């Protein structure tokens, strides 16, 4: 989750400009209800963790805008005041397969602080907001990337075209011209984001009427349009592949500048499909919520005044009630048709609220705005009688056995990666691997099939502690896209070897009441085990798992230099092979 650090003086000045007193105690008491987690609050700074569902709070300015409604009951303004600018953008049809979504806006008359320190803090806050939006909405600039420019140095109208890799211009913070190929190979931003344009023969470029380069999206701006302390009029471009993410990013940067007294102005765009559009659209977005859904989820009905007060705290406006369409389904247990009902509540919310996707989201807005503490009292209507898991007794006995041998239980992430799960461990995928479509980091790209890699990473993190160290995990893995349970343990000790781990397996079998067990040798290279020091555990003729001494080449991949031994078992196979005396 992104964290922002906001100067209390900034919040104070923005709120006092609207006639409100900035109260630190009120911030500490009530602001977490808005979808935030306050890490630190002093007289000088507010460090706040923003939950992923509220990207509209990622700058001090947009946070202050929301605080005015939520903390001070200011009249909500879900509509952004947008005037026409007379500026246009023409997008070539060649952008359809390169970067098809192109949006723009102008903000004039921004009251940048007059002193150098204040102006520098303003610019830093603007750039920091951009980068957080790139992360939260843009998915590392893939879905949306933002460019902010000094309009005084530009000559509208603007043109978005494609060029080859030999086209050259002066990029931001450089004095010498560089070609597209050089930027992608040598410029820090080019190296960082070159993968977004991988495999392309043409590259997007935004130029003005004099062919001066504004931006090479999603990589870097041109140096000529750099925002400085004297900039008062801004041009904003947002490009990408996700229209909703681009629109929200454009409006949030415009809203940030509008909080400094700027007037937001629209831009006329001829898209790569040949359509004529105008952005940004300042009109709020209408949300229709069935009244029955509100009553079912929150356990009570609301008067018009209560609805207006609740949604105003969240920055919206209650427009009234209306009968549901005659063809709407009247009853359904499916969330897909949660809009069913006989009466509907109509709300207008800011268009930049990217997180409002479903009527249930609006019900949550009402609950937060009204206050959870005042929703009344109700009794659960669902049957609360629990049913024990089929493996409940076995899991209890497995934990008792592991802890009886002095091992500490851990719980690691189900998310992993192919390198940790298979390459380093020398396992081959014997079941279908469940991959993540849009991974956030390269460390979390698949759902794990083994537990031992997580134990190795834990011991690597704690390698500075004294030996011996013994840990185990009883957790879920995903094989063939189905959840299944496994048990693994790992011990780091100076005198450990195959005899030590075989003794633990023998004690483990005794704890389970198993007498008919045997070991079978494993082939060299079959898993992380040292050649001749790994074995299968067979109970009542069924193979339930493997154990042994880890090969130093495997442990060294995790920067571990001590003898390691361990095991991993299939819990379902154990339950089938070992008779449960309970």
**For residues 71 and 329, which has the higher predicted lDDT (pLDDT)?**
71
Q: pLDDT category, 340, cuts 50, 70, 90? A: low
With 0-12 / 13-18 / 19 or more C-beta atoms within 10 angstroms meaning exposed / middle / buried, residue 84 is exposed
CA dist 389 and 398 (Å) reads: 14
**For residues 365 and 443, which has the higher predicted lDDT (pLDDT)?**
365
Bridge partners (DSSP) of residue 542 are: 539
Does pLDDT of 325 surpass 90? no
Q: What is the pLDDT of residue 190?
A: 92
Q: What is the pLDDT of residue 373?
A: 84
**Torsions phi, psi for 22 (to 5 deg):** -80, 115
Does pLDDT of 429 surpass 70? yes
Of 12-26, 239-253, 284-298, 407-421, minimum mean pLDDT range? 12-26
Q: Which residue has the tokens 């102005």?
A: 265
The average pLDDT across 202-209 equals 95
Instruction: Give the chain's mean pLDDT.
Output: 90
In 192-275, at which residue ranges do the beta strands (DSSP E only) sit? 203-207, 213-216, 220-221, 234-240, 263-270
Closest C-alpha to 298, from 356, 377, 382, 384: 377
What residue ranges define each of the domains in the chain, with the CATH number in brackets? 3-70 (3.30.56.10), 82-279 (3.50.40.10), 285-374 (3.30.56.10), 392-577 (3.30.930.10)
Q: Which distant-in-sequence residues (6+ apart) come within 8 Å of 173 by Cβ?
A: 223, 226
Q: Which two tokens stand for residue 465?
A: 């502690």
CA distances from 103 to 149, 215, 234, 249, 251 (A): 14, 13, 14, 10, 10
Would you give the DSSP letter of residue 540? T
Q: What is the pLDDT of residue 522?
A: 86
Q: What is the pLDDT of residue 327?
A: 61
Q: pLDDT category, 164, cuts 50, 70, 90? A: very high
Of 18-22, 120-124, 151-155, 282-286, minimum mean pLDDT range? 18-22
The average pLDDT across 188-209 equals 93
Does pLDDT of 330 surpass 60? no
Most confident of 46-55, 96-105, 379-388: 96-105
Closest C-alpha to 195, from 138, 141, 240: 141
pLDDT tens digits, 543-559 = 999 999 999 999 888 88
End-to-end C-alpha distance for the chain, whole angstroms: 45
pLDDT tens digits, 459-518 = 998 888 888 899 999 999 999 999 999 999 999 988 878 889 999 999 999 998 888 889
Does pLDDT of 338 surpass 60? no
Q: Are 302 and 370 in contact (CB under 8 A)?
A: yes
Q: pLDDT category, 383, cuts 50, 70, 90? A: confident
DSSP states along 98-109 = T--EEEEEEEE-
Q: pLDDT category, 337, cuts 50, 70, 90? A: low
Q: pLDDT category, 566, cuts 50, 70, 90? A: very high
**Torsions phi, psi for 222 (to 5 deg):** -80, 155
DSSP states along 359-370 = HHHHHHHHHHHH
Q: Which two tokens stand for residue 435?
A: 């991959």
Residues in the chain: 582
Would you give the DSSP letter of residue 94? G
pLDDT tens digits, 30-48 = 888 787 888 888 888 888 8
Does pLDDT of 129 surpass 60? yes
Percent of all residues in the chain with a pLDDT value above 70, rounded to a whole number: 97
Q: pTM for this one? A: 0.69
Q: What is the pLDDT of residue 580?
A: 72
Does pLDDT of 582 surpass 90? no
């Amino acid at each position: 989750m992104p964290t922002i650090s906001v100067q209390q003086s900034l919040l104070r000045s923005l709120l006092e400009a609207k006639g409100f007193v900035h109260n630190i105690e009120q911030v500490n008491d009530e602001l977490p209800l808005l979808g935030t987690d306050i890490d630190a609050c002093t007289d000088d700074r507010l460090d706040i963790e923003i939950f992923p569902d509220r990207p509209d709070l990622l700058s001090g300015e947009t946070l202050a805008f929301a605080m005015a409604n939520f903390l001070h009951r200011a009249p909500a303004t879900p509509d952004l005041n947008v005037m026409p600018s007379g500026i246009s953008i023409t997008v070539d049809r060649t952008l359809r397969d390169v970067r098809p979504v192109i949006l723009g806006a102008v903000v004039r008359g921004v009251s940048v602080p007059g002193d150098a320190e204040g102006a520098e803090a303003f610019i830093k806050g603007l750039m920091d907001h951009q980068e957080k939006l790139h992360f939260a909405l843009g998915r590392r600039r893939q879905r949306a990337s933002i460019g902010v420019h000094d309009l005084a140095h530009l000559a509208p109208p603007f043109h978005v075209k494609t060029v080859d890799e030999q086209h050259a211009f002066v990029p931001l913070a450089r004095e010498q011209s560089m070609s597209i190929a050089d930027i992608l190979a040598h410029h820090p931003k080019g190296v960082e984001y070159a993968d977004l344009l991988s495999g392309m023969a043409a590259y997007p470029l935004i130029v003005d009427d004099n062919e001066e380069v504004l931006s090479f999206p999603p990589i870097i701006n041109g140096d000529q349009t750099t925002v400085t302390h004297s900039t008062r009029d801004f041009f904003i471009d947002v490009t990408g592949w996700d229209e909703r993410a681009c629109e929200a990013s454009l409006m949030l940067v415009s809203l940030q500048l509008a909080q400094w007294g700027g007037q937001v102005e629209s831009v006329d765009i001829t898209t790569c499909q040949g359509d004529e559009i105008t952005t940004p659209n300042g009109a709020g977005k209408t949300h229709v919520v069935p009244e029955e859904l509100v009553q079912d989820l929150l356990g009570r009905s609301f008067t018009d005044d209560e609805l207006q007060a609740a949604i105003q705290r969240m920055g919206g406006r209650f427009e009234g009630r209306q009968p549901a369409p005659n063809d709407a389904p009247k009853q359904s247990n499916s969330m897909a048709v949660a809009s069913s009902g006989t009466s509907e509540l109509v709300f207008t919310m800011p268009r930049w609220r990217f997180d409002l996707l479903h009527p249930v989201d609006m019900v949550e807005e009402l609950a937060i705005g009204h206050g959870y503490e005042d929703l009344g009292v109700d009794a659960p209507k669902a049957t609360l009688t629990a049913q024990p898991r089929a493996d409940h007794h076995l899991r209890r006995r497995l934990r008792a056995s592991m802890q009886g041998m002095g091992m500490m239980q851990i719980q690691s992430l189900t998310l992993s990666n192919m390198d940790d799960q298979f390459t380093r461990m020398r396992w081959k995928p014997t079941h279908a691997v469940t991959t993540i479509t849009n991974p956030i980091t390269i460390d979390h790209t698949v759902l794990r099939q083994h537990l031992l890699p997580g134990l190795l990473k834990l011991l690597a993190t704690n390698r500075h502690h004294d030996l011996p160290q013994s840990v185990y995990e009883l957790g879920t893995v995903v094989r063939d896209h189905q959840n299944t349970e496994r048990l693994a343990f790992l011990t780091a000790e100076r005198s450990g070897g195959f005899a030590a781990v075989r003794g633990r397996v023998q004690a483990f079998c005794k704890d389970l009441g198993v007498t008919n067990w045997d070991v079978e040798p494993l082939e060299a290279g079959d898993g992380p085990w040292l050649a001749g020091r790994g074995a299968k555990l067979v109970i009542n003729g069924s193979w339930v798992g493997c154990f042994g001494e880890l090969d130093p080449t495997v442990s060294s991949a995790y920067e571990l230099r001590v003898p390691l031994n361990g095991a991993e078992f299939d819990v379902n196979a154990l339950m089938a092979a070992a008779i449960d005396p309970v």
